[in-house]
Chain A
Amino acid sequence: MAVRPQHVHDGGIVERRLRPIYDWLDNGNNKKALQEAEKVLKKSPSLQAARALKALALFRLGKGSEAHSVLDALAEEKPSDDTTLQAMTISYRESQQLHKVCALYEAAVKAEPTSEELHSHLFMSYVRVGDYRSQQRAAMGLYKFAPKNPYYFWAVMSIVLQAKTSEDTTKRGILLALAQRMVDNFISDNKMEAEQEARLYIMILELQEKWEDILKFIESPLYSQLVPGSTAQACIPYLTKLGLWKRLNLVCKELLYENIDRWDYYLPYFDSVFQLMKQNEEDPECTVDNTAEKCHEFICQLVESMSSGRTLRGPYLARLELWKRLSVDGDPTSLLGSGLSLCVQYLRVFANKACAVPDLRPYLPMIPQKEREENCRDFLTCLGFDENSEPETTDDIQRHVSCLTAWRLTAAPLSADEALSLATKLRDHYMRCLKLGLVTATITEFCAPDAYGILAAHHYFYAAVMQQSSAPIVEALCLLELVLHHSPANFHAKLLLVKFYHLLGGALAADSVYGRLEVKHIQLLSLGWLHGARLAPACAATRALQLLADTRGFHTHHSKDSVEHLTYAYKYGTFEKLVELGNWGNRLEACGWAASAARDRALLSLLAGPPAPLHQPTRLPAQPTDNRDLNVIVNFEPPQFEDIHLKSRTFDQEMSYLKLKDALVSAIALCIELADNRSVEEKKDHYEQLNVCVDAFSQAMDKCKQMYGEKERICISAPFPSRIIAFVNSPVPYRELYCTTLRLVGELALGRAAPVHSACAAAQGLLPNAQAQLATELHFGPDAAWNMRDCLEHLSNYLEFIGIITFLLGVCNELTAPASTKKSKKKINQSPDELKTSELLNNLNRTVQSSILYLEGVLDDWPKYEFGDLDQKLSNLTIDTKYQSPVESKLKAGREDMINDVRYILKRKSKYLKTLQ
C-alpha cells in the first residue's frame, strides 16, 4: 500500500526531508526507511510525521512492540497534521488496531474543530470499525459546517445501517422513519441531486415495505430527472409486490415490444399472466393478457415481429417457458403441442449456436422421462443428422454437435459397452475433423469439433465408472490432451483433464494442466475443491502446502482489505453497494474452504513443512459459507440423474471434516502451550481444555462414522467424495491413535506418571495394529490405476498421523528434558517414574520409527501405472508423428515425484525421531 498522502500541504522543508522515507517505504525497503527516519529525527527529534513513519517502518520490520511504543507516545501528543495521522492510520490498520484510529481522529478533530478533512477521516475511521452511531454523529457534525449533499447522506446511510442491524423492531421503525424524514425534507427543499441518493431513498422505503410510496417516487419528475429513461423497468418489482398484475402485464408487454430478447421482462410478464388467469376476470377491453391463449398470441406476435435477418432466442424460449408453467397443473398440449416437439423445434432453429443446448437444458425435465427417452432420436435427427453423419462445414459441425448433445441429454443411459462404442465413434468424429483441417481453434477461440472430444471423454468416463476400470479414463486423457494441444483455450478440456488425472490418483499430472487454467485470487476459493483440496489426499504434500498457503494468503489479505471497500463506497456515494460489499466481506470472511485450507495447512506443515511454529488459524466461522462453483464442469447426464442435494450434502460433509481437523489443530496448539516451563499448577487450565478438546474430537469421530457410512457416487462435475468418508470409516483406529497420543502429552505436562505410562503403552500397542489395518486398506487389485486414488488417500491419512505423532513426541521431549537444560541435567536426579517414562517414550519413538520403515517398504512396492495397450490407444489418435501424447509420461513422472517427496519427508521424520532418543 502506498504510504504517501495524496495532498501534501506544505511543499517546503518538511516534505523534502520526509520524501526519501516515503520512497523507501513504498519500495518495500523498510530497513532503509528506518535509517532515513532516524537521520531526520536526529536533526529534528520532535518531528511527529517522521516519528510516525519510523513507527510504520518498525512495524513492517516485525518490530511490533517498538512500533507501538512510538505510536502510543505520539498518540499522547494528539497530533493533527495530515501526514502524521495518515502514517499512523496505516500502522494501526496493518496491525489490526482500527479502534485506535478513531481515538486518534477524535483528538485531532477536537484540536482543529473546523477541518473538513479531519472530520471526514474521523467518519471513515468509524466506518472501518462498523460503529454506525458514531458515523452518524460524525457525518452530521461535518454537514453542519460543510453543508454538502454527500455528508448529509452519509448520516442518512448510517441511520439505515443502525436500523438494519437493530433487533428491536420498534427502534428499527423509529430509525427508518427518521431516515425517511431526513430525505423527505431534502426532497421538499429541492436539494436531492444524485442517482445514488434516489436509490438510497428507495432502499429506506423498501425496508419499511412502503411499496406504493416507492412507485409514486419512481413516477415522479424528480426520479426521471435523476435516473433518466428507466422508469418502466424500475416499477416492475413494486408492481409485483403490490399485486398490480394488470399494470405489470401492460408495462412488461410494452417493454417486450421494444426489447424482444430481454428475459428479465419475460419473467414478470409470465408472473402477471398466471396471476391474472387465477383471477379469471372479464377484460372487456382485452388490453391485458389474462389467458394462456392471449399469452401465446403475444409471443407469436413477437416471433413474427422479428426482422428476417436476425432470429433472437427470447420469444422461442418464452414459448418453452409458457409450456413449462402451464404443465405444472395442466396439459398445455392442446394449445402449444407437445413439449417435446417444442424443444426439438428450438433445437432446429438454434442448433448452429453453441448456446442451443445450454438454453434447452432447464426445459428438458418438463418432458416426462418415458416420453423423452422414447423420442430422444428426434433431437438427433431433426436436422437430418444421425450419429454417423460426417458434416464438413463449421456450421454443420456445430449443428451436429448440438443434436448429438441434446440426444444424449434425453436418452436412457447406456450400458458400459454401449458408452464405450459411442465414445469411440465420437472420438473418430474428432479425429476426422482434425485430419480434414476442420479443427480451426486459435489461442483464444475454441472450435465446434472440440465438442466431439469433450462428449467422447464424458462417455469414456461413464464406461469407466460402470466397469470400475481405468482403461477408458486413459483413453479419455489421451484424447483430451490432443484436443487441448490443438485448442489451447479450451478450458472444458483442461477441467476434465484435471478431474481425470485426479481420478487415477495422478495429482501432479493434474497439476500440470491446472497451471494452464491460471486459477487465482477469488478463484482459489471458488475452485479450490477441484485441485487444491485434492493434493494432500493424493500424497502430493509439498505442492499441497504451496497451494494451501496461496489460498490462505488470499484470504487473509482480503480480510485486511475489505473494510477499505466500504470507505470507497461512502466516498463515491454508492450506498446500495455498501450493503452488498459488507455482506460480501462477511461471506468471504466465513468461507468454509478457507477455514479448511488453514487447518489442512497447519496439519500438513507438521508433516511436510520446514520446522516452524504451528500455523494457528483464526477461529472457526460460526456459520461457514459455501463458495464453491460446482457448475464449472459441464455435465451431460440426463435430468433424472441430477442430484439437487449434492451441493449442500457435500458441503455438510466438508464442514464435518473441518470440525474434526479444527479439533485436532486446537488440541495440538494446547499441547504446545502445555510444553512451556510453567508450574504444574499453572498448567491445569490448559490441561482441562485439552481433555475437553480431545473428548470433542472423539465424539465427533463416532458421530461422523454413523453419519457418513455410505459411499458417494463419483460424478463427473462434482467434487470427489469428501475425505471424511475414508477417514472415519478406516479400519485404522485413528480415533484411538489421536486421542491416546494427545492425552499422553497432557498427562506428561502434569507429571502424572501412571496415566503417562499407560498412554505410552496404549499408543505403542495401537501402532502395529494400525499398520496391519493400513495394509488391508491398501488393496490395489488387478487395476492399480483405478484404485490408486483411494489407496493414496488411505496412505495420506496415515502419513498425517505420523507427522503429528512425531511432532508430539518432540513436545514430550521438551517436557521431559526442556531444551535449555537438556545438556546439563540429562539423566541426573531422575526418579524411577521418570526413568520409566523416558524408557516408555523411547519405546514409542522406536515403534514410530519402525512404522516409518514399514511405510518406506510400502513405497518400495507402490504399484506403477501400467498401460498395456497404450500404443494401440495412441495409434487411434495419430495424425502427425510430431505430436507425442504426454499422458503416460505425466502419470509416471508424477508418481515418481510423489514417491520421492514422501520418501524425503519420511527420512526427515526418522532423523528427527532419532535425535529425540
Chain B
Amino acid sequence: MTTIRPFTCEDMLKFNNVNLDPLTETYGLSFYTQYLAHWPEYFQVVESANGEIMGYIMGKAEGHGDNWHGHVTALTVGPEYRRLGLAATLMNILEEVSEKKKAYFVDLFVRVSNKVAINMYKNLGYIVYRTVLEYYSGDPDEDAYDMRKACSRDVNKKSVIPLTHPVRPEDVD
C-alpha cells in the first residue's frame, strides 16, 4: 500500500521518522534543493496511506561517454516499513529513469559493514564493481563498495566487469 510521488521541499519537514535512523544522513539544505532542481525525476518518495513518509530515493545522472550512468545518492526506508520491498520499488524507479536517459549502468556506494543493504542490492542484480578505500569518514574511516548494475544500453555488460584492485576516493569520478 504505497503512494509513489516526487519528493517535494516540504517533505524535509516530515522525514524525521526516516532520517533519525543513524545510517541516514541529513544533508545540508542546499544539497536537497540542488537535487530537486537538477534531477527531480530521480528524487522520489514512498508514502503510506496515513501520509507518513515510508522512504525515499535520491539520485542523479552523470558521466561522459560510456561512463554516462545513473547514481543512487541516498536510499532509505523507515524502520517500521522495512521488509516490504519498498527499497526494491524505489530502485526500480531509479533504474527506469536511467533507462529513459539512456544510461549505461546504475551505480551506488555502500558501507562494507552494511550487510543488509549489500545483500539487498545483490538480490536486485548489483555486483561489487570495486572497493573504494576509506570512502566514509569517521572513526575509523570505512571502505565503500561501489556496486553496479548494467542497463540495457550496455549490451556487452562492459560496465560491470569488476576491477581487481581497490581504488582511493580521489580516483573515483
A binding-site residues for B, Cβ under 8 Å: 195, 228, 261-264, 310, 312-314, 317, 321, 353-355, 358-359, 361-362, 443-446, 488-489, 491, 494-495, 517-523, 525-527, 554, 558, 561-562, 564-565, 568-569, 571-572, 574, 576-578, 580-581, 583-584, 587, 627, 629, 631-632
Contact = CB atoms under 8 A, between A and B. Distances in A.
Given A359-B48, A444-B21, 11 more contacts: A317-B1, A354-B81, A359-B50, A489-B23, A523-B26, A527-B16, A561-B29, A574-B38, A629-B13, A632-B17, A632-B20
A568 B37 contact: yes
Nearest to B36: A577
Contact of A353 (B12, B21, B29, B84): B84
A359 B49 contact: yes
B30 to A, nearest CB: 5
Interface residues of B, number: 47
Contact of A359 (B1, B23, B30, B82): B1
A491 B17 CA distance: 8
B79 A445 contact: yes
Looking at chain A's contact residues, the main secondary structure is helix
Contacts of A578: 37
A570 B83 CA distance: 39
Contacts of B40: 574, 576-577
B80 interface: yes
Interface stretch (B2-10, B125-133, B136-144, B165-173): B2-10
Contacts of B1: 261, 263, 312-314, 317, 359
B26 A521 contact: yes
A443 B19 CA distance: 15
A7 B161 CA distance: 35
B114 interface: yes
B59 to A, nearest CB: 15
Contacts of A574: 36-38, 40
Contacts of B47: 263
A523 B16 contact: yes
A491 B26 CA distance: 14
Interface in B41-72: 41, 47-50, 52, 54
Nearest to B79: A446
A748 to B, nearest CB: 45
B2 A263 contact: yes
Contact of B52 (A262, A358, A558, A572): A358
B8 A580 contact: yes
With most chain B CB atoms within 10 A of its CB, the pick from A561, A568, A627 is: A568
Nearest to B114: A444
Which interface residue of B30, B81, B82 has the most chain A CB atoms within 10 A?
B30
23 contacts: A228-B100, A262-B3, A262-B4, A355-B54, A358-B48, A359-B1, A359-B48, A359-B49, A444-B22, A444-B114, A445-B116, A518-B20, A521-B26, A526-B14, A568-B33, A572-B38, A572-B39, A577-B37, A577-B40, A581-B37, A631-B14, A631-B17, A631-B52
B37 A572 contact: yes
Closest 3 CB pairs of A and B: A584-B9, A491-B20, A568-B37
A262 B1 CA distance: 6
A577 B11 CA distance: 14
Main secondary structure of the interface of B (DSSP, over half): mixed
B9 A362 contact: no
Given A263-B49, A358-B52, A520 B26 contact: yes
Contacts of A581: 9, 33, 36-37
B12 A358 contact: no
A358 B50 contact: yes
Contact of B84 (A355, A517, A518, A583): A355
Contacts of A314: 1-2
B113 to A, nearest CB: 9
Interface in B102-119: 114, 116
B49 A518 contact: no
A627 B11 CA distance: 11
A523 B13 CA distance: 7
Given A261-B2, A358-B48, A518 B26 contact: yes
Nearest to A626: B13
Nearest to A443: B22
A354 B80 contact: yes
Contacts of A587: 9-10
B34 interface: yes
A571 B38 CA distance: 8
A53 B39 CA distance: 33
Nearest to B43: A577
B37 A569 contact: yes
Contacts of A228: 100
Contact of B79 (A312, A354, A577): A354
Contacts of B16: 523, 526-527, 629, 632
Nearest to A318: B1
Contacts of B29: 521-522, 554, 558, 561
A361 B8 CA distance: 25
A224 B116 CA distance: 38
A627 B8 CA distance: 15
B21 to A, nearest CB: 6
B37 A522 contact: no
Contacts of B2: 261-264, 314
B147 to A, nearest CB: 17
Contacts of A353: 83-84
A584 B50 contact: no
B112 to A, nearest CB: 13
A198 to B, nearest CB: 13
A123 to B, nearest CB: 16
A264 B36 CA distance: 22
Contacts of A565: 30, 33-34, 36-37
A158 B116 CA distance: 48
A584 B38 CA distance: 16
Contacts of B37: 565, 568-569, 571-572, 574, 577-578, 581
A517 B9 contact: no
Nearest to A490: B79
A503 to B, nearest CB: 20
Nearest to A517: B20
B79 to A, nearest CB: 6
Contacts of B79: 354, 445-446, 489
Nearest to A583: B9
A264 B5 contact: yes
Contacts of A359: 1, 48-50
A578 B37 CA distance: 7
Contacts of A564: 30
Contact of B36 (A489, A561, A580): A580
A485 B100 CA distance: 46
Contacts of A310: 85
Nearest to A228: B100
Given A444-B114, A629-B16, A632-B17, A489 B26 contact: no
A568 B85 CA distance: 34
A361 B80 contact: no
A317 to B, nearest CB: 5
A624 to B, nearest CB: 15
A628 B34 CA distance: 23
Nearest to A362: B50
A362 B9 CA distance: 25
Nearest to B54: A355
B95 to A, nearest CB: 13
B26 to A, nearest CB: 6
Give the residue among B21, B36, B39 with the most A Cβ atoms within 10 A.
Answer: B36
Given A446-B79, A584-B9, A629 B14 contact: yes
Contacts of B84: 313, 353, 355
A627 B12 CA distance: 10
B62 to A, nearest CB: 13
A577 B40 CA distance: 8
Contacts of B41: 195
